[in-house]
Amino acid sequence: MPVAARRAIAGSPETGTARTGAIIRSPIPMPEKIVLAYSGGLDTSVAVHWLRAERGYDVVTLTVDVGNEPDLEAIVAKAQRIGAVATRTIDARELFVRYFVFPALQAGAVYQNQYPLATALARPLIAKLLVDIAREEGAVAVAHGCTGKGNDQVRFDVGVASLAPDLRIVAPAREWGMTRQQEEDYARRHGVPLPQGGSPFSIDQNLWGRSIEAGDLEDPWVEPPEAAFAWTKPVDATPPQPRDVEIEFERGVPVALDDQRLEGVDLIATLTRVAGEHGIGRIDHVEDRVVGIKSREVYEAPAAVVLLAAHAAVEAMVLSREQLALKQRLAQEYAELIYTGRWFSAHHQDIAAYVQSTQRFVSGLVRVRLHRGSFRVVGRRSPHSLYQPALATYGQGDTFDAGAAVGFIQIWGLPLRTQARQQLIGYTEEPLAIATPQVDEPPKLDAPLQGKAGVQA
């Protein structure tokens, strides 16, 4: 027998008394809880009200600091004012650097040879924290403020589903179909505070980088205005004299800057300031999004670009040619899985295991010169270096056995000589033509494309 029925027969004061014929009312069900990743911006602020009014949830907000410098006190007050039943904040900067940024640095992960993956790296961490808070709060769902057009919806949805398949995922901005103007009108009607002094651009930032998009930047022909940048100086405003910085690595992780040992968060923040002062770290490229569209993206990542180059310089000293070749291929795959939201996958675990193995001897010191918007490695050394001066020198003390080169060349070139003799030499009137194979002339741009049979394609 259901609990409510037993209470009614027993004369429970919650439901009335059956013997006297009183009306028995069932208890009103409590609203379900949902945890919303909350930034305090327009989308997520409107989402707090929308989730309450349109979906009937009790909303718990979660604000995560990954180096985006949030005003946590103001954000919490705003969420409470709109109607959140609880607000949670987490300083996750150290977690972000230790478990996400530095593993990506060790892998050399850069998406499409341009993007150091700052925003993409933060999303799986926030997804994990959403799940953790949902468990603590007894929530049945999580929510985020991503639209249906960007990459982050994929990263959040796939990440949460990988960690907690039982949780529902709600994306209000993907569902309500409102334009930005309609969101602002909705906010005014329902007393949701509007952001003050907003930027014309859509900006996301954390310790590893800052992304700027929308507005005039949607035209790839338009040069990004200086107003889009916050961390990097324009070249004409940078110091006239170059500056050298020395970065020390231990097992692939940066541990010191200019002979001062620093924790990861402080090291990245310091290098961001120093490199940004010299105009380092601006990135402007057209990127392929997960959802299948091309998007013009502008980034600032001073510390990221310098650390990636310095780390690669140490690896070049201590890894073999075969290790470097495989690792460079895996770096692209690593970047792809981060960008496409597959952090919590067995594929990632497998690649990460190899990457960690390669970092056993990636320790050393790198000197990088910063000057007028550019930088270059000007010195490197490692106690595990495979670079041996006695083998590399052309001067006194040369220990390389040049006489052995003749036999090596004979063996190395054997397959080529065999193929040339058996297949190439004597089978063409012009033996040297094999170096420049003949191809059909490409169609002219103003001519219709033709198929093999002459039919227009």
Kindly report, residue by residue over 256-300, the tens digit of the pLDDT. 999 999 999 999 999 999 999 999 999 999 999 998 999 999 999
- The mean pLDDT of 332-336, rounded to a whole number, is 97
* Selected catalytic residue, list 7, 12, 162, 202: 202
Q: Is residue 340 part of a domain?
A: no
Of 371, 387, 403, the residue that ends a domain is 387
Q: How far apart are CA 134 and CA 323, in angstroms?
A: 42
User: In terms of residue numbers, what domain contains 90?
Assistant: 33-192
**173 and 254 in a common domain:** no
Q: Please determine, for residue 405, whether its predicted confidence score (pLDDT) is greater than 60.
A: yes
pLDDT for the residue numbered 164: 97
* Selected catalytic residue, list 88, 93, 123, 342: 123
**171 and 82 in a common domain:** yes
**233 and 115 in a common domain:** no
Model confidence band, residue 451 (pLDDT cutoffs 50, 70, 90): very low
Count how many domains the chain has.
2
Q: Please determine, for residue 8, whether its predicted confidence score (pLDDT) is greater than 90.
A: no
**376 and 256 in a common domain:** yes
Q: Exposed e or buried b for every residue in 78-110, given b needs 16+ CB within 10 A?
A: bbeebbbbebbbbebbebbbeebbbbbbbbbbb
* Selected catalytic residue, list 43, 155, 282, 295: 43
CA angle 60–61–63, rounded 5-degree value: 150
pLDDT for the residue numbered 11: 38
CATH code for the domain in which residue 161 is found: 3.40.50.620
**180 and 42 in a common domain:** yes
**149 and 258 in a common domain:** no
**111 and 63 in a common domain:** yes
Please report how the helices 72-82 and 42-53 are oriented relative to each other, as an axis angle in degrees rounded to 10: 30
Q: Is residue 40 part of a domain?
A: yes
**170 and 247 in a common domain:** no
Rounded to the nearest integer, the mean pLDDT of the chain is 89
CA end-to-end distance (rounded Å), the chain? 73
**176 and 96 in a common domain:** yes
CATH code for the domain in which residue 299 is found: 3.90.1260.10
Among 83, 76, 91, 81, which Cα is nearest to 39's? 76
- The mean pLDDT of 353-370, rounded to a whole number, is 98
CA distances from 190 to 77, 96, 210 (A): 17, 36, 32
Find the helix or strand (DSSP H, E) in which 103 lies: helix 102-107
CA Rg value for the chain: 30
**107 and 240 in a common domain:** no
* Selected catalytic residue, list 152, 282, 363, 382: 152
Q: Is residue 48 part of a domain?
A: yes
Q: Please determine, for residue 365, whether its predicted confidence score (pLDDT) is greater than 80.
A: yes
Q: Is residue 105 part of a domain?
A: yes
Residues 368 and 302 sit within 8 Å (Cβ to Cβ): no
pLDDT for the residue numbered 241: 97
- The mean pLDDT of 164-193, rounded to a whole number, is 93
Residue with tokens 């050298």: 244
Residue with tokens 């916050």: 230
Strand pairing report for 243-250 and 282-288: unpaired
Q: Is residue 353 part of a domain?
A: no
**158 and 264 in a common domain:** no
Q: How far apart are CA 95 and CA 348, in angstroms?
A: 18
- Give this prediction's pTM: 0.86
Residues 23 and 47 sit within 8 Å (Cβ to Cβ): no
Q: Is residue 349 part of a domain?
A: no
Q: Is residue 80 part of a domain?
A: yes
Burial (CB count <10 Å: 0-12, 13-18, 19+), residue 299: buried
Q: How far apart are CA 41 and CA 194, in angstroms?
A: 8
152 catalytic residue (yes or no): yes
pLDDT, tens digit, 9 for 90 and up, residues 188-222:
999 999 877 667 888 899 999 999 988 889 999 99
CA of residue 225 relative to chain centroid, distance? 24
**373 and 275 in a common domain:** yes
Question: Which residues, in sequence order, are bridge partners of residue 206?
Answer: 209
202 catalytic residue (yes or no): yes
Q: Is residue 265 part of a domain?
A: yes
